[in-house]
Amino acid sequence: MKAPLETVSLDTMIDNHIGKRGTQKRDVFERELKIEIKTTLPQNLNPKSKIRIPKSNKPS
């Protein structure tokens, strides 16, 4: 019989596989991740800005 799947947070997975916050390996990982996110975002999208969704033209 198979064991049930366990739900684990992303932070826990990173802690287990990369290292706890404050360790050199974790700092390098987070720095590289931030660089990767910045380079893959469209140039006109600021990650701190609110994304506006246009209102639908359909009558309510």
- Which backbone phi and psi does 28 adopt, to 5 degrees? -65, -45
Task: Using a pLDDT cut of 90, give the percent of the chain over it.
Answer: 45
Tens-digit pLDDT profile for residues 4-22 = 999 999 999 999 999 999 9
Which amino acid, residue 31?
A: R
Domain ranges of the chain: 10-40
**Residue 55 pLDDT exceeds 80:** no
- pLDDT value, residue 52: 62
**Residue 44 pLDDT exceeds 60:** no
**Residue 48 pLDDT exceeds 60:** yes
**Residue 57 pLDDT exceeds 60:** no
Is residue 25 a contact partner of residue 18, using CB atoms and an 8 Å limit? Answer: yes
